[in-house]
Amino acid sequence: MNSLVKQGPESAYKVWGKVQGLLAVYKPADLSTKDVINTIETAVLQGLNQLKQRPQKTLVKIVQDETSVAQGNSNVLMAVKVASLADHPLVAGPRYTRIKTASSAKGIDRKSTGVMVLAVGSGTRKLEVYKKAKLSRTLSVKGRLGFATDSHDPEGKIWEKTTYNHVTRDKLDCIIGSIHRETQKTIIRGLLHPVGETPPLILNAKCVDFNPPDFELELECLSASSQYLRFMIHDIGLELKSSAVATQIRCIRDGPFTLEHALLRKHWKLPYIIEGIAKCRNLVKHSQLVPPEVQRQVLEIQEGIDESVRLMEGSNVKDLE
């Protein structure tokens, strides 16, 4: 389980290299993205400072040779190495005070939960490429029919109540299908991902549970914030001739990162973080991190090569004739 604990104390210098990379954590409710980042950063730094530290720096000090002094000759000096008090942890403070930490969660607010991808140390460079790749996310969104609020969630002020007895599973599936079809029209034809800044896109949508007044949707989307999904649940309620609010928004997949890779809050400690980074290190392939702009150039180059091959094959056939 915890290899760091099993192997006993290890130098912080060696462990430092193991905390560089991407990591998936499970974000609980009532924690902002900044709170999660600060908590992980604090856990890493505290864990590093509790490990075996590098030796204290030394200074060269000129002292009298005690042997010569005992013999009556006090003019003999010698150089000795002594510990530098300026480098003592009680004077200089903790060895590790900062490590760069970032998150790819854009548009995820305090009320949302689920998988969140973080980068620690040098992994922040890979995170920038990860964000440019625009990999889709899968979210589980729960809604409740019968009332509407000013914030489109149960915590807001109720300003409308409606009936929902006429709402059926077939009607809900029909509305979800229309949203899916409208969104598909905005996807650039022939590309794996949209290029540049794009509006929220719903790549796939389905209803996984319907038990009025509650229902649950599973959405695969790009660039969709939590508030956008709440607005969408509100619009679905209006289309159903009723009203609805989003009771829960939970990310169950972010690119290749799933719930299986996400560390629970009780495991936000250095040994588990190291294992989480090692587990996720080979999870993201380099081909998946190629930005859409580069993919488009590759497709254009490939199309040019294919066209040249066809022209060459055509000319060879004519020569044979």
For 70-119, what is each residue's pLDDT tens digit?
A: 666 767 778 888 888 888 888 888 889 999 999 988 888 999 999 999 99
Closest of 45, 110, 113 to residue 262, by C-alpha: 113
Confidence of residue 5 (pLDDT cuts 50, 70, 90): very low
- 214's enclosing H/E stretch is strand 214-222
pLDDT for 283 = 83
Distance CA 228, CA 212 (A): 23
Distance CA 280, CA 130 (A): 13
pLDDT for 206 = 92
Closest of 124, 131, 108, 144 to residue 36, by C-alpha: 108
Contact 84, 4 (CB under 8 A): no
Could you tell me which residue, 7 or 20, shows the higher pLDDT?
Answer: 20
Could you tell me which residue, 282 or 277, shows the higher pLDDT?
Answer: 277
pLDDT for 288 = 58
Contact 263, 26 (CB under 8 A): yes
What is the set of domains in the chain, with CATH numbers?
58-92 (no CATH), 136-254 (3.30.2350.10)
Distance CA 228, CA 235 (A): 10
Contact 234, 116 (CB under 8 A): no
Distance CA 218, CA 160 (A): 26
Which residue matches tokens 């409308």? 160
**Average pLDDT rounded to a whole number, residues 58-72:** 75
Distance CA 216, CA 207 (A): 6
Could you tell me which residue, 288 or 277, shows the higher pLDDT?
Answer: 277
pLDDT for 191 = 46
pLDDT for 192 = 45
pLDDT for 310 = 61
The answer on pLDDT for 320 being more than 60 is no
| 37 contacts: CB under 8 Å, gap ≥ 6 | 101, 102, 103, 118
Confidence of residue 28 (pLDDT cuts 50, 70, 90): very high
Residues with catalytic annotation?
Answer: 109
Which residue matches tokens 């790009």? 222
Half-sphere exposure of 228 (CA within 13 A, CB side): 14
pLDDT for 286 = 62
Q: What is the pTM of this model?
A: 0.78
Structure tokens at 281: 């290190």
Could you tell me which residue, 174 or 79, shows the higher pLDDT?
Answer: 174
User: What confidence tens digit (pLDDT) does each residue in 136-157 have?
Assistant: 899 999 999 999 999 999 999 9
Please report, rounded to a whole number, the percentage of residues in the chain having pLDDT higher than 90.
Answer: 51
pLDDT for 57 = 85
3 state DSSP class of 282: coil
Average pLDDT of the residues of the chain: 83
Crossing angle of the two packed helices 169-184 and 226-239, in degrees rounded to 10: 130
Closest of 107, 102, 115 to residue 255, by C-alpha: 115
pLDDT for 169 = 94
pLDDT for 75 = 73
Question: Looking at this protein, which amino acid is placed at residue 102?
Answer: A
pLDDT for 177 = 86
Confidence of residue 254 (pLDDT cuts 50, 70, 90): very high
The answer on pLDDT for 273 being more than 80 is yes
Confidence of residue 297 (pLDDT cuts 50, 70, 90): low
